[in-house]
């Protein structure tokens, strides 16, 4: 029997059905990443598992116990299943160690000294022993989230549930939290992680669940989901999250928003510094200096310049695609003399510049 067995799980609210008919099994020691578009029931699913939400129908067996049975011992079952949320939710008026001591003292009857030693041990596991006597507000977001993970481990659970544990963090803190989670995976803890960190999903999970429209649309090992998805919806989702897309539809575009979004994508994809700088340079030189300026000269109020960046890996090039076909009717702006000059510099940043089709350039980054 699997550690978790979900059959025909359904959750209805008056106006929406976040879970229609979910069926899933999770074996001991598995690390499941749950991915999918927004609003497709991922959080609802994970919250049903430990009964923070009451399912409308269906059954959830955890370690052989039916979580939907009205007589189930929920406190006991929740000890078996720790949970870590997006916003760490630590008690701010308690020291870091005290945050970890409460449950073991209340529920296991440990003495203060025993609970403190246990807390130090937990902090060790997330690399924060030296912060035991700090206040939560003295820690960085990433450190607070690591404390929240330690707290999730405080009752020695068999299963740890995560709902977007890194989505409230700055990019540089994401990797420290993910590496703690990866470390737990290596110790054989069973984990279900709702995440939008595709690299984590691919590298750290035994299986990936793709959820869409209230159903578990596709489940399989990361190679299947990321390289050979069986369903079109999975394929489209994976392509969308793998690439960065931006449309410049105004001759006075919101540059800080665009730059920030591009920077976040490059960071998330662990792109090299060189490729990241080259991307920013091309976007600034080509899209802004040449195309947007020309759009302004031509008094085009609504240009349609599309940028798509796909971070490559495993022998596949990182490609920045600039699609400015909408501007061709007034002549090709990138064929102007000063555009050609800046193209010469850009060529130096690229392995190859591909122009197979008028109005579309593919920059293969080094
Ligand atoms: N307590 C609630 N009452 C009513 N509707 C709810 C409630 N909780 C969730 N929903 C709805 O259920 C649907 C699924 O929500 P859920 O939070 O599970 O999605 P999600 O996949 O986690 O999305 P995201 O990726 O944005 O976190 C949404 O339409 C949401 O508005
Ligand atoms: Mg959610």
pLDDT of 167 > 80? The answer is yes
Do residue 287 and residue 335 come from a single domain?
A: yes
C-alpha 38 to ligand 1 mean position (Å): 8
Which of 168, 196, 230 terminates a domain? The answer is 230
CATH number for position 359: 3.30.565
Do residue 113 and residue 19 come from a single domain?
A: yes
Residue 214 lies in a domain: yes
Do residue 75 and residue 207 come from a single domain?
A: yes
Q: 214 in ligand 1 pocket by Cβ < 6 Å?
A: no
> For 179-203, what is the mean pLDDT?
90
Residue 237 lies in a domain: no
pLDDT of 338 > 80? The answer is no
Do residue 122 and residue 205 come from a single domain?
A: yes
Q: How confident is the model at residue 39 (pLDDT cuts 50, 70, 90)?
A: very high
Do residue 202 and residue 327 come from a single domain?
A: no
> For 116-126, what is the mean pLDDT?
95
Segment 305-315, tens digit of pLDDT: 999 999 876 66
Do residue 188 and residue 264 come from a single domain?
A: no
Q: 91 in ligand 1 pocket by Cβ < 6 Å?
A: no
Ligand 1 mutation target, pool 17, 33, 41, 45, most atoms within 8 A of CB: 41
Taking the model in full, what pTM does it have? Answer: 0.78
User: 11-39: string of b/e by CB count within 10 Å (b at 16+)?
Assistant: beeeeeebbeebebebeeebbbbbbbeee
Do residue 299 and residue 214 come from a single domain?
A: no
Residue 238 lies in a domain: no
Q: 113 in ligand 1 pocket by Cβ < 6 Å?
A: no
Do residue 133 and residue 281 come from a single domain?
A: no
Domain residues for 30? 4-230
Which of 179, 195, 230 terminates a domain? The answer is 230
Residue 151 lies in a domain: yes
Residue 236 lies in a domain: no
Q: 42 in ligand 1 pocket by Cβ < 6 Å?
A: yes
Q: 39 in ligand 1 pocket by Cβ < 6 Å?
A: yes
Chain centroid to CA 94 = 30
Percent of the chain with pLDDT over 90: 73
Q: 195 in ligand 1 pocket by Cβ < 6 Å?
A: no
Residue 136 lies in a domain: yes
Do residue 304 and residue 272 come from a single domain?
A: yes
Do residue 220 and residue 286 come from a single domain?
A: no
Residues with CB under 5 A from ligand 2 (ion): 43
pLDDT at 313: 67
Residue 235 lies in a domain: no
d(CA 18, CA 40): 6
Do residue 262 and residue 293 come from a single domain?
A: yes
C-alpha 194 to ligand 1 mean position (Å): 13
pLDDT of 341 > 80? The answer is no
> For 140-155, what is the mean pLDDT?
93
Which of 230, 251, 277 terminates a domain? The answer is 230
Percent of the chain with pLDDT over 70: 99
In the chain, which residue ranges form alpha helices assigned H by DSSP?
42-49, 74-80, 96-108, 112-125, 141-153, 171-186, 198-204, 222-227, 232-242, 255-268, 273-282, 293-297, 337-349
138 backbone dihedrals φ, ψ, rounded to 5°: -85, 0
Going 296 to 299 to 301 to 303, the CA torsion angle's sign is: negative
pLDDT of 361 > 70? The answer is yes
Do residue 224 and residue 263 come from a single domain?
A: no
Residue 307 lies in a domain: yes
**Count of structural domains within the chain:** 2
CATH number for position 134: 3.40.50.300
């Amino acid at each position: 029997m699997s550690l978790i067995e979900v059959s025909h799980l359904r959750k209805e609210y008056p106006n929406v059905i976040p879970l229609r008919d979910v069926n899933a099994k999770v074996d001991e020691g598995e690390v499941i990443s749950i991915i999918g578009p927004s609003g497709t029931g991922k959080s609802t699913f994970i919250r049903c598992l430990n009964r923070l939400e009451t399912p409308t129908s269906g059954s959830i067996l955890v370690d052989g116990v039916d979580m939907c049975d009205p007589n189930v011992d929920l406190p006991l079952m929740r000890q078996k299943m720790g949970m870590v949320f997006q916003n760490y939710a630590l008690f701010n008026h308690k020291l870091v160690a005290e945050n970890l001591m409460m449950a073991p003292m209340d529920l296991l009857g440990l003495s203060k000294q025993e609970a403190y030693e246990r807390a130090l041990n937990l902090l060790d596991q997330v690399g924060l022993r030296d912060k035991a006597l700090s206040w939560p507000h003295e820690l960085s977001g990433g450190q607070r989230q690591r404390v929240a993970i330690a707290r999730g481990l405080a009752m020695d659970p068999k299963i740890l549930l995560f709902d977007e544990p890194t989505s409230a963090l700055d990019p540089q803190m994401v990797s420290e939290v993910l590496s703690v989670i990866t470390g737990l995976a290596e110790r054989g803890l069973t984990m279900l992680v709702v995440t939008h960190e595709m690299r984590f999903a691919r590298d750290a999970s035994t299986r990936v669940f793709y959820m869409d429209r209230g159903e578990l649309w596709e489940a399989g090992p990361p190679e299947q989901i990321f390289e050979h998805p069986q369903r079109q919806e999975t394929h489209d989702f994976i392509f969308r999250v793998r690439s960065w897309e931006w449309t410049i539809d105004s001759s006075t575009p919101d540059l800080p928003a665009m730059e920030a979004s591009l920077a976040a994508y490059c960071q998330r994809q662990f792109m090299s510094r060189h490729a990241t700088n080259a991307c920013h340079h091309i976007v600034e030189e080509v899209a802004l200096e040449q195309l947007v300026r020309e759009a302004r000269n031509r008094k085009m109020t609504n240009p349609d310049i599309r940028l798509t960046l796909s971070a490559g890996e495993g022998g596949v090039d990182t490609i920045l695609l600039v699609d400015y076909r909408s501007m061709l009717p007034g002549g090709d702006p990138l064929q102007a003399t000063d555009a050609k000059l800046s193209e010469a510099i850009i060529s130096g940043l690229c392995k190859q510049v591909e122009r197979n089709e008028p109005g579309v350039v593919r920059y293969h980054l080094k």
